[in-house]
Structure 1
Amino acid sequence: MQLPLKNLTGLFICLFLFFKSAEAQKIYIDSLSRLLVQKSTSNELRVNLLCKLAKANFEKNLPISFKLTDQALQVSAGLKDGKSKAMIYATLVHLYVWKKDMKNAYQSLDSAMYYARKTKDRVTLGFVWFRNGWLDLVNDENDKSIAKMFKALDFFKGENTYEYESTIYHYLASFYGYGNNPSKQQKYADLCYRTAVKSQQVDALNNAYFTIGQTFFDSFKLDTTKRKLLDSALKVYKKSLWFSKKQEGRLLVYSNTAAVALNTANTYFQYFPASYRDSAEKYVDEAIEIATKTNLQEILLNCYGLKSEYYLRDGNYEQAEKILLTGLSKIEDGVVKMPLTKSRIFQGLANIAEKKGDKGAALNYFKQYVANYKKAFDEEKINNTVKIEAQYQSEKKEQEIAYLHQQSAYTKKINVFYIISGLTGIVALLFLLISYNYKLKASVRKQELIDQQKDAAELKAQLKETEALQLKAEQALLKERQERLEKEVLAGNLQIEEKNELLELLSDKVNSESHLSLDEQIKRIVNQQKRMDKEFEEYKVDFVDANPAFFERLQEKANHTLTRLDLKYCSYMLMGLTNKEVSIRLGIEPKSVRMSRYRIKQKLGLGKEDDLNLFLQNIG
Structure 2
Amino acid sequence: MKSLLLLFICLTGLGGFAQTRLSDSLQSAIALPHTSEHDKVMLLNQLGEFYRVNKEYTKAMATARESITIALRANNLTDASKAYLLLLNSRIGAQELAQIRQLSDTLLSTAKKANTPISMAYAYYGQALLFKTLEHPDAVMKYCQMALAAMDRNQDPYIAAKIYYQLYAINANWNNGAKVYQYASLALENALKTTDYTLLSNCYNAMSTAHEYKYEENHQQAALDSIFYYLDQSEQLYSRYPGQLNNYAYAISCINIASYYQRFFSPTDNHAQTQGIHYANKARTVLKDAPNSQEVIASSLGILSEYAKRDDRNEDVERYLLEAYHVMLTQQPPYYYTMINVTKGLADFYESRKDYQNALKFQQLVNEYSSKSFDQQKASKAQKLEIEYQTEKANNEVRFLKEREKSQQQRNFLYTCIAIVSVLFLLFLFRSYHFRLRYSLQREKQLELEKQDSKLQLKLEKEEQARLRAEQQLMEIQQQQLKKEVMANVLQLEHKNQMLYNLKDKLAGGDEVNMQKVLKEEMVLDDDFEQAKLQIQQVHADFFQLLNEKAQRKLTLLDLKLCAYLYLQMDTRQIAQLMHVEAKSVRMSRYRIKQKLGLEKEQDLNAFLQGLK
**TM-score category by the smaller chain?**
0.5 to 0.7
SS in 1 for 2:193: helix
Q: Counterparts of 2:204 and 2:307 in 1: how far apart (Å)?
A: 28
**In structure 2, which of residues 41, 60, 67 is the aligned counterpart of residue 65 of structure 1?**
60
> Could you say which residue in structure 2 is the equivalent of 1:232?
226
> Could you say which residue in structure 1 is the equivalent of 2:252?
259
> Could you say which residue in structure 1 is the equivalent of 2:607?
none
- Say whether the 8 Å CA contact 1:173–1:185 is kept in structure 2: yes
Residue 91 (structure 1) aligned with residue 91 (structure 2): no
How do 1:401-420 residues align onto structure 2 when only pairs under 5 Å count? 401-405=398-402
Change (3 A) 1:363 1:54: same
- Say whether the 8 Å CA contact 2:198–2:249 is kept in structure 1: no
Cα deviation per residue 1:239-289 (whole Å; 9 max; x = unaligned)?
A: 32112222131224x444322211111121122234132111101012213
- Say whether the 8 Å CA contact 1:85–1:115 is kept in structure 2: yes
SS in 2 for 1:102: coil
Q: Counterparts of 2:243 and 2:141 in 1: how far apart (Å)?
A: 33
Q: CA deviation at 1:211?
A: 2.2
Change (3 A) 1:302 1:21: closer
**In structure 2, which of residues 229, 238, 254 is the aligned counterpart of residue 244 of structure 1?**
238
The letter of the residue matching 1:199 is: T
Q: Counterparts of 1:451 and 1:379 in 2: how far apart (Å)?
A: 56
Q: CA deviation at 1:124?
A: 1.9
**In structure 1, which of residues 337, 345, 348 is the aligned counterpart of residue 345 of structure 2?**
348
Change (3 A) 1:323 1:350: same
- Say whether the 8 Å CA contact 2:208–2:231 is kept in structure 1: yes
**In structure 2, which of residues 281, 284, 293 is the aligned counterpart of residue 288 of structure 1?**
284
Q: Counterparts of 2:384 and 2:236 in 1: how far apart (Å)?
A: 40
Q: Counterparts of 1:223 and 1:291 in 2: how far apart (Å)?
A: 36
Cα deviation per residue 1:195-215 (whole Å; 9 max; x = unaligned)?
A: 223335433432332222222
- Say whether the 8 Å CA contact 2:78–2:118 is kept in structure 1: no
**In structure 1, which of residues 392, 397, 404 is the aligned counterpart of residue 394 of structure 2?**
397
**In structure 2, which of residues 203, 216, 241 is the aligned counterpart of residue 208 of structure 1?**
203
- Say whether the 8 Å CA contact 1:50–1:68 is kept in structure 2: yes
> Could you say which residue in structure 2 is the equivalent of 1:279?
275
Residue 118 (structure 1) aligned with residue 113 (structure 2): yes
SS in 1 for 2:30: helix
Q: CA deviation at 1:407?
A: 5.8
- Say whether the 8 Å CA contact 1:173–1:188 is kept in structure 2: yes
Change (3 A) 1:31 1:314: closer
Cα deviation per residue 1:132-172 (whole Å; 9 max; x = unaligned)?
A: 22343455433222221121112233223112212322333
- Say whether the 8 Å CA contact 1:321–1:349 is kept in structure 2: yes
Q: CA deviation at 1:401?
A: 3.1
- Say whether the 8 Å CA contact 2:134–2:388 is kept in structure 1: no
> Could you say which residue in structure 1 is the equivalent of 2:216?
221
TM-score relative to the length of structure 1:
0.60
RMSD (CA atoms): 4.2
> Could you say which residue in structure 1 is the equivalent of 2:13?
23
- Say whether the 8 Å CA contact 1:189–1:215 is kept in structure 2: yes
SS in 2 for 1:91: helix
- Say whether the 8 Å CA contact 1:167–1:207 is kept in structure 2: no
The letter of the residue matching 1:208 is: C
Q: Counterparts of 2:27 and 2:412 in 1: how far apart (Å)?
A: 51
Change (3 A) 1:325 1:152: same
The letter of the residue matching 2:259 is: N
The letter of the residue matching 1:290 is: V
Change (3 A) 1:319 1:148: same
Q: Counterparts of 1:290 and 1:155 in 2: how far apart (Å)?
A: 40
How do 1:178-197 residues align onto structure 2 when only pairs under 5 Å count? 180-197=175-192
SS in 1 for 2:325: helix
**In structure 2, which of residues 362, 368, 371 is the aligned counterpart of residue 365 of structure 1?**
362
> Could you say which residue in structure 2 is the equivalent of 1:32?
26
> Could you say which residue in structure 2 is the equivalent of 1:311?
308
Change (3 A) 1:144 1:291: farther
- Say whether the 8 Å CA contact 2:88–2:103 is kept in structure 1: yes
> Could you say which residue in structure 1 is the equivalent of 2:420?
none
Q: Counterparts of 1:451 and 1:77 in 2: how far apart (Å)?
A: 48
**In structure 2, which of residues 131, 151, 164 is the aligned counterpart of residue 169 of structure 1?**
164
Cα deviation per residue 1:192-242 (whole Å; 9 max; x = unaligned)?
A: 232223335433432332222222222112233x23321221122123211
The letter of the residue matching 1:120 is: N
- Say whether the 8 Å CA contact 2:294–2:328 is kept in structure 1: yes
Q: CA deviation at 1:45?
A: 4.8
> Could you say which residue in structure 1 is the equivalent of 2:98?
103
- Say whether the 8 Å CA contact 1:170–1:188 is kept in structure 2: yes
Q: Counterparts of 1:380 and 1:271 in 2: how far apart (Å)?
A: 33
- Say whether the 8 Å CA contact 2:57–2:91 is kept in structure 1: no
- Say whether the 8 Å CA contact 1:43–1:75 is kept in structure 2: yes
Percent identity of paired positions between Structure 1 and Structure 2: 20
Q: Counterparts of 1:110 and 1:336 in 2: how far apart (Å)?
A: 30
The letter of the residue matching 1:262 is: I
Cα deviation per residue 1:26-53 (whole Å; 9 max; x = unaligned)?
A: 6543443244334555555544432321
Bigger mean CA deviation after superposition, 257-266 or 285-294 = 285-294
- Say whether the 8 Å CA contact 1:110–1:394 is kept in structure 2: no
**In structure 2, which of residues 47, 51, 56 is the aligned counterpart of residue 53 of structure 1?**
47
**In structure 1, which of residues 375, 383, 405 is the aligned counterpart of residue 380 of structure 2?**
383
The letter of the residue matching 1:112 is: L
- Say whether the 8 Å CA contact 1:178–1:218 is kept in structure 2: no
Q: CA deviation at 1:373?
A: 1.0
Q: Counterparts of 1:84 and 1:163 in 2: how far apart (Å)?
A: 14
> Could you say which residue in structure 2 is the equivalent of 1:333?
330
SS in 1 for 2:306: helix
Q: CA deviation at 1:85?
A: 4.5
SS in 1 for 2:153: coil
Residue 151 (structure 1) aligned with residue 149 (structure 2): no
The letter of the residue matching 1:381 is: K
| Larger-gyration structure (1/2) | 2
Where relative contact order (Cα < 8 A, 6+ residues apart) is larger, the structure is 2
The letter of the residue matching 1:72 is: S
SS in 1 for 2:155: coil
The letter of the residue matching 1:397 is: A
Q: Counterparts of 1:205 and 1:193 in 2: how far apart (Å)?
A: 7
Bigger mean CA deviation after superposition, 232-241 or 330-339 = 330-339
The letter of the residue matching 2:308 is: Y
Aligned residues: 432
Q: CA deviation at 1:301?
A: 1.6
Change (3 A) 1:142 1:176: same
- Say whether the 8 Å CA contact 2:111–2:120 is kept in structure 1: yes
